[in-house]
Amino acid sequence: MVLAQLGGSITRALQQMSNATVIDEEVLNDCLIEISRALLQSDVQFNLVQDMQTNINNIVNLEDLAAGHDKSKIIEEAVFNELCKMLDPGKSSFVPEKGKTSVVMFVGLQGSGKTTTCTKYAHYYQKKGWKPALVCADTFRAGAFDQLMQNATNAEIPFYGSYMESDPVKIAVEGVERFTEENRDLIIVDTSGRHKQEAALFEEMRQVFEATKPDLVIFVIDSSIGQAAFDQAQAFKQSVAVGAVTITKMDGHVKGGGSLSAVAATKSPVIFIGTGEHMDEFEVFEVKPFVSRLLG
Ligand code: GDP
């Protein structure tokens, strides 16, 4: 079930509930079953769905609600709040400060959209008058430097990388040093990905992290990842101090719900979403407006 359908299914379940002549336990249960089914079909992790159901049942105590209470409104609010909670780790991420050098490292699997997202992120801040710079510490994928160079050139953002050097740590350190000297206020380090989670990738990530001491690590996840999202995100979090998440390809006709579990797995907020291949197809992510939009 794609995200737009998910929103429609939840809204329909709520409508059906509020149309009932009497809202009793059975009606509430049917409604929650429908919502849970829709979430599971969208690849939201089972535990999260179960927690949501339990929490709503705890919050909405129909017996205790005196007559005259708008039960359907209370249930709708509880569902809205629980969906927001699912996407809100309860803490914000590091926020870079304009004019002060910050280092932001991007991590994620190959193909997740990491390199594209690095440029989008740089471009987003550049439009606001910042002085970003890009460092290509991906020496694993042939063509990674060319891709970053092309993106950076299109966006008119300074970049650093090497065709010759094979040590990503060395490149990352040199790039960060150079751009720090040049007083760039947002130094973005793109790291290697792999097709799957493997020890070598995590070791390399750890080394780049140790050497550059980034202020923020952003984990990039493809929205089409499905149920594997939770484990993948958790594996990255266990290797480096992930502080924020960016979900890519939210424009595609994908289920998308799996990637939302990355919040629970990393205990970090989603800060941006990618909505297309173009540099400007990049949005700040805010939980409440997202859930409102989802539910139409
Ligand atoms: P990396 O291997 O993780 O660095 O991934 P890339 O940045 O090379 O992206 C892989 C593919 O996904 C490229 O074709 C990108 O254009 C595409 N891509 C990245 N972000 C988005 C997005 O938000 N929407 C769409 N539709 N495509 C994206």
Residue 8 has pLDDT above 70, yes or no: yes
Task: Check residue 118 and report its DSSP letter.
Answer: H
The pLDDT of 237-252, averaged and rounded, is 94
Task: Check residue 92 and report its DSSP letter.
Answer: P
Beta carbon of 36 within 6 Å of any ligand 1 atom = no
Place of tokens 């740089």: 122
Residue of the CA atom closest to atom 19 of ligand 1: 113
- 295 pLDDT band, cuts 50/70/90, is confident
pLDDT reported for residue 256: 79
Could you tell me the sign of the dihedral formed by the alpha carbons of 23, 26, 32, 37, in that order?
A: negative
Q: Greatest CA separation found in the chain?
A: 75
Q: What is the pLDDT of residues 73-112, one digit of tens each?
A: 999 999 999 999 999 999 999 999 999 999 999 999 999 9
Who wins on pLDDT, 257 or 93? 93
Q: What is the pLDDT of residues 164-223, one digit of tens each?
A: 999 999 999 999 999 999 999 999 999 998 776 688 889 999 999 999 999 999 999 999
Beta carbon of 146 within 6 Å of any ligand 1 atom = no
Are β-strands 186-191 and 132-137 bridged in parallel, bridged antiparallel, or unpaired? parallel
Beta carbon of 143 within 6 Å of any ligand 1 atom = no
- Collect all residues with Cβ–Cβ distance below 8 Å to 262 and sequence separation of at least 6: 219, 221, 229, 230, 232, 233, 245, 247, 268, 270
Which atom of ligand 1 lies at the shortest distance from residue 248's CA?
A: 23
* Alpha carbon of 99 to ligand 1 centroid (Å): 29
In the sheet that holds 159-160, the strands lie side by side as: 159-160, 132-137, 186-191, 102-107, 216-222, 244-248, 270-274, 282-284
- 67 pLDDT band, cuts 50/70/90, is low
Residue 64 has pLDDT above 80, yes or no: no
Residue type, 155: A
pLDDT reported for residue 5: 85
pLDDT reported for residue 180: 98
CA atoms of 102 and 138, how far apart (whole Å): 20
Best mutation site among 277, 278, 279, 282 for ligand 1 pocket (most ligand atoms within 8 Å of CB):
277
Contact 132, 185 (CB under 8 A): yes
pLDDT reported for residue 173: 98
Predicted model pTM: 0.94
Helix (H) or strand (E) holding 172: helix 168-181
CB-based burial label for 152 (10 Å; 0-12, 13-18, 19+) = buried
Which atom of ligand 1 lies at the shortest distance from residue 274's CA?
A: 23
Beta carbon of 111 within 6 Å of any ligand 1 atom = yes
Beta carbon of 114 within 6 Å of any ligand 1 atom = yes
pLDDT reported for residue 66: 67
For the CA atoms of the chain, what is the radius of gyration?
21
Residue 158 has pLDDT above 80, yes or no: yes
Residue 68 has pLDDT above 70, yes or no: no
pLDDT reported for residue 51: 94
Place of tokens 């129909």: 62
Kindly state the tokens that stand for 279.
């540099």
pLDDT reported for residue 103: 98
Best mutation site among 116, 282, 283 for ligand 1 pocket (most ligand atoms within 8 Å of CB):
116
Kindly state the tokens that stand for 47.
């535990």
- Collect all residues with Cβ–Cβ distance below 8 Å to 286 and sequence separation of at least 6: none
Residue 19 has pLDDT above 70, yes or no: yes
Q: How far apart are the first and last CA of the chain?
A: 16
- 262 pLDDT band, cuts 50/70/90, is very high
Kindly state the tokens that stand for 224.
């089409």
What angle, rounded to 10 degrees, do the helices at 3-19 and 25-41 form?
A: 170
* Alpha carbon of 161 to ligand 1 centroid (Å): 20
Task: Check residue 24 and report its DSSP letter.
Answer: -
Strand, coil or helix: 48: helix
Share of the chain above pLDDT 90, in %: 76
